[in-house]
Structure 1
Amino acid sequence: MSRAHDAGRPPSPPLVAPPLPPGTGRLLFLLVAAAFVVILNETIMSVALPTLMAEFSVTAATAQWLTTGFMLTMAVVIPFTGWLLTRLPLRGVFVLAMSTFLAGNVLAGLAPVFPLLIAGRVVQAVGTALMMPLLMTTVMNVVPLARRGTTMGLISVVISVAPAAGPTVGGVILEHLTWRWMFGTVAPIALAALVAGSLWVRDVTERRRVPLDVASGLLSAAGFAALVFGLSSIGEAAAGHAPLPPALPIAVGAVLLAVFAARQLRLGDGALLDLRVLARPGYTVPLAVLLVGMMALFGTLILLPIYLQSVLGWDAQATGLALLPGGLVMAALGYLAGRAYDRVGPRPLVLPGAALAAAGLWGYALLLGPTTTAGLVVGLHVTLSAGLALLFGPLMTSALGALDRPQYPHGSALLSTLQQVSAATGTAVFITLLTVGTAAGLDAGADRAEATMQGVHTAFLTGAAIFLVAVVGTLRVRRPAAPDAPAPTPAGTPDVPPAG
């Protein structure tokens, strides 16, 4: 039978939460901690770009590949995770993810030349790309239905707070140590997670012998790489520094992905990435709202530091610390929202969450100026962070909960892939609008700070208007129905070792 939400039956009422199977808490703690560490590295280098430009004698466009290359690699690798999680045992995927991340971390930290630093970041990104689908698939398989909201709340902390905390952590390290310690600090933690995972992680997923469709892999890799590259180069093009028109790789990527999608639908159960999950409105609607929220988050993360440093004149450490309260609020409220989801469902959370996030974005658009106080900047960021915290966990839980058990790896992989695309889109849109607005201000005779302020207003105003789509979308989010048969848990089986 299909899900009740998609078939028209009313959603299931709140369930009584059973205890977690023995060993599950330890397993989830390890996976959440490991995912936080690896995803933190997606944005940790952003505050170090000026330092790296000076040390390696590279331009801003070249230095930006430390972030762009990371995102490109993740967009290429993540579609393969659905196939990997179907074919390989969970522990094998975890060990592959953490060992790859650790190897890239060491390579980047010791890199004597800039190309090796980029290579290290690419290897890091491969490990990072494997972690989020692995974590979400594990949760959907081992956590009872009535506790999934709480657990997915923790995951929302990972996907939102870790990127937001990256500039803060990077700024503090750079203030007191060299940029190499951004990798040196993480390496021991990654090594400890790798050792613990090789002992604790057990196979809790359903495995099937699905052959790898090479043509799908090539289409996916080329399509997502071209799309993310095109989106990431829009800002450079607006400033006149892009190596080629962004419309070209975006168009190529769109065509390749259209062919990829048609092939996946034709392959059915043998697809590299099963796109039939998009036929479930209970999955597609919350996913769409989530992606708009991710655009707002990453657009703000790239734009706000520019405003604080270029207009208000703050240094890197002060900029990072200004984002810290919002990150802490997002972490605490994300967990509480997950617990509340298990009792009340998504709507009482996502509706006020969308309103708060919209208020934060509109506040940025209308209230920021060349003399804005630190209190107002932090207050608006806390408001936006609180709203996104109420959105992310409930939306992920609702989306994945609308799928059947065999679809969890593909639903998780597609969600993670589209998150990377939406992050690149949000960054591209905000930076392009900033560049266009700044150029208009300079043409009108304003100085650099005044022109940048005009660009900031343009970007945030457009972002706030786009976010209204998410506000409307939350009206259609519902709690998914209970599955027709309860999913098996690892209690009493050798999949998860007993506690202690």
Structure 2
Amino acid sequence: MQMDNNKTATAVASSEIKAMPIIISFLIAGFIGLFSETALNIALQNIIQNFGITPSTAQWLTTGYLLTLGVLVPVSGLIMQWFTTRQLFLTSLVFSIIGTLIAALAPSFAVLLVARIVQAIGTALLLPLMFNTILNIIPPHRRGKAMGLIGLVIMFAPAVGPTVSGLIIDKLTWHWIFWFSLPFLVIALVFGAFFMQNVTTLTKPKIDILSIILSTLGFGGVVYGFSHAGEGGGWSDPIVIIALAVGALSLILFSVRQVRMQQPMMNLNAFRYPMFVIGLVLILVSMMVMLSSMILLPLYLQTALAMTPLTAGLILLPGGVINGLLSPVMGGLFDKFGPRFLVTPGLILVTAAMFGFSTISLETSTGFIVGLLIVLMIGISMIMMPAQTNGLNQLPPSLYPDGTAIMNTLQQVAGAIGTAVAISIMTAGQNGYLEDAANPKDPQTMLQAFTEGVQNSFIFGIIIAIIGVVVSFFIRRVKVEHQEN
């Protein structure tokens, strides 16, 4: 890849920016990256059987991916000020292609996990870059629609993933999920090579190694601690306690250092803007609820209800498709009316869906599950993009890289925590039911125990959603007064 020299590593003139080809480049790359994430979820049962591992170990394919994002995305604000849009986009695609190829050839669980980490490096570069680029090339009054278009892909890809994965697994092995993704990533690379433009001017701030170390220990420690507890270590496990303690202490030291530095790696002044903070909290609530649900439901459908991967994928499809199709609509409504009339009703729908999921049993009909998932995804579409766009709109342009880095970092951490806690609660509920059972080895009893664990996990989702409802009452529309680049 040819690197731009200092004279050319600046933004092209606003009149020369071709916004649509740039957005399309990101949409193609983002679609495949997110497709492969949920496509793998539906294949977990096959991977568990293929490699002879437990569900808690298989969970690391999701948690390890999110852990890598949680470690790398905080540095993205700094990276975006050192390298051009074009350089970072092409580099992210190269990592994604390499990771996908390794996964397609993976002969063992360890190799597959390494492949997921390499894929995550590509995503860690792509996600913050995508949002930062949108903020720089789209004026505030049109951002809702642009973010809605991004939301269409962000939600449609995960929705289609399980169904396509189910079709693939029905005829081939799970390796073909990655063979299916590979040519589309190559197309995205070629498309971006022709159409991606540099939209920011590089400032090349000083690199502070200590900040990077503290950030890695902080975010990595917190995610690892929760993940190990979810893997079966339990909350009293010394490894969990040490990881969480090291993570929390490192994050405190990291925050103090950023506040005191003249050129911080991550400018925490973004937290001085109240709508950014409220938008961030609502995004974290949505991510915890959504990702925990998306790992619980495939396991429930295939384990408790004995469905095939294809059937499970088809059941998960309508909710995700509706969410994706509604995202641009919600973006347009946000541009017109602001966030308040979308976000609070959306969170009420999410809370209602969580209540419904907490009642599922071995007799629950598929129609009931499909209906609840549609309600959940409609609610999520009313929250995610409006809250994110409103929060980022309040930031001055100089804080765009830091704002997008903060949001994307904490999204991944919240997703990892939500996933780990959900699996941990499910396992604890399952074990608790079996301890009190007269015949714990009876297959029907084991299925009932699994269902009990899933119900308990959705109660955790109810609590998180109610917190979101309370926070949503404080959101208000941001009037953009700063000058755009």
Q: Name the TM-score, length of structure 1 as normaliser.
A: 0.88
In the alignment, the residues of structure 2 paired with residue 461 and residue 53 of structure 1 have an alpha-carbon distance, to the nearest angstrom, of 26
Q: CA deviation at 1:33?
A: 2.2
Q: Distance in 2 between matches of 1:382 and 1:427?
A: 20
Q: Does 1:155 align with 2:153?
A: no
- Could you tell me how far 1:52 is from its partner in structure 2? 2.9
Cα distance between partner residues in 1 of 2:246 and 2:465: 27
**Pair 1:396 & 2:396 matched:** no
- Given the alignment of the two structures, is residue 462 of structure 1 paired with residue 460 of structure 2, yes or no? yes
Contact 1:326 1:385 in 2 (8 A): yes
Q: What residue number does 1:423 align with?
A: 415
**CA–CA separation in structure 2 for the residues paired with 1:61 and 1:152:** 35
2:258 to 249, 261, 264: 264
- Deviation of 1:203 after TM superposition, in Å, equals 0.9
TM-fit CA distance, 1:457: 2.1
Amino acid aligned to 2:147: M
SS, match of residue 186 in structure 1: helix
Aligned match of 2:75: 80
d(CA) in 2 for partners of 1:136 and 1:199? 20
Q: Determine which of 307, 312, 315 is the counterpart of 1:319.
A: 312
Structure 2, unaligned runs of 5 or more: 1-13, 439-444
Structure 2 counterpart of 1:6: none
Aligned to 1:92: 87
Task: Confirm or deny that 1:361 pairs with 2:359.
Answer: no
Matched letter for residue 301 of structure 1: M
Over 3 Å counting, the alpha-carbon distance change for 1:455 and 1:238 in structure 2 is farther
User: Does structure 2 retain, via aligned residues, the 8 Å contact 1:20–1:143?
Assistant: no
Q: Indicate whether 1:435 and 2:427 are aligned.
A: yes
Query: How far apart, CA to CA, are the structure 2 residues paired with 1:114 and 1:313?
Result: 24
The one-letter amino acid of 1:223's match is: G
> Residues 20 and 289 (structure 1 numbering): CA distance in 2 closer, same or farther, change over 3 Å?
farther
Higher mean alpha-carbon deviation, 28-37 vs 285-294, is at 28-37
Q: Distance in 1 between matches of 2:119 and 2:151?
A: 21
Using the TM superposition, name which of 54-63 and 473-482 deviates more. 54-63
**Retained in 2: the 8 A contact 1:169–1:320?**
yes
> How many aligned residue pairs are there?
466
Structure 2: distance between partners of 1:69 and 1:415: 19
Structure 1's unaligned 5+ residue stretches are: 1-18, 489-500
Q: Does 1:296 align with 2:289?
A: yes
In 1, the alpha carbon distance for the partners of 2:110 and 2:416 equals 22
The aligned residue for residue 470 of structure 2 is: 472
> Hey, what does 2:227 align to over in structure 1?
232
Distance change (3 Å), C-alpha of 1:58 and 1:460: closer
Aligned-residue offset at 1:286 = 1.2
Structure 2 distance, partners of 1:442, 1:20, is 66
Query: Which whole-Å CA distance do the structure 2 matches of 1:425 and 1:484 have between them?
Result: 35
SS in 2 for 1:483: coil
Where do 1:150-299 residues align within 5 Å?
Answer: 150-237=145-232, 245-268=239-262, 270-299=263-292
Measure how far apart 1:71 and its partner are. Answer: 1.5
- Percent identity, aligned pairs only, is 36
Which position in structure 1 is the counterpart of 2:7? Answer: none
| Mapped contact 2:57–2:231 kept (Cα < 8 A) | no
Number of the residue aligned with 1:385: 377
**Superposed displacement of residue 252, structure 1:** 1.2
Please tell me the residue identity of whatever aligns with 1:257. Answer: L
CA contact (8 A) 2:67 2:413 kept: no
User: Are 2:482 and 1:484 aligned?
Assistant: yes
CA positional deviation for 1:61: 4.6
1:358-401 C-alpha deviation (Å, 9 max, x unpaired): 111111123x2221111111000000100001100101101110
Answer whether contact 1:239 1:435 (CA < 8 A) is retained: no
**Aligned twin of 1:128:** 123
The residue type paired with residue 337 of structure 1 is: M
- What CA distance in whole angstroms lies between the structure 2 residues aligned with 1:439 and 1:448? 9
CA distance change for structure 1 residues 114 and 370 in 2, over 3 Å: closer, same or farther?
closer
**CA distance in 2: counterparts of 1:445 and 1:216, whole angstroms:** 51
Amino acid at match of 2:120: A
**Paired AA for residue 428 in structure 1:** A
Whole-angstrom CA distance in 2 between matches of 1:63 and 1:304: 15
* Distance change in 2, residues 1:166/1:223 (3 Å): farther
Confirm or deny: 8 A CA contact 2:282 2:384 kept in the other structure.
no
CA shift, 1:58, in A, is 4.5
Moved over 6 A (4+): 19-22
Q: Secondary structure at the match of 1:175?
A: helix
SS where residue 70 of structure 2 aligns?
Answer: helix
Residue 37 of structure 2 contacts residue 62 of structure 2 at CA under 8 Å; is this kept in 1? yes
Moved more, 326-335 or 445-454: 445-454
Bigger Cα displacement from structure 2, 51-60 vs 200-209: 51-60
Aligned-partner Cα distance in 1 for 2:454–2:15 = 47
- CA distance 1:74–1:165, change in 2 (3 Å): farther
Q: 1:329 aligns with which of 322, 334, 339?
A: 322
Q: In structure 2, what is the Cα distance between the partners aligned to 1:460 and 1:63?
A: 20
Query: What do residues 131-174 of structure 1 show as CA deviations (whole Å, max 9, x unaligned)?
Result: 11011001100011111001112223344444454333322221
What is the SS of the residue equivalent to 1:79? helix
TM-score (norm 2): 0.91
1:114 CA drift (Å): 3.6
CA distance in 1, matches of 2:348, 2:297: 20
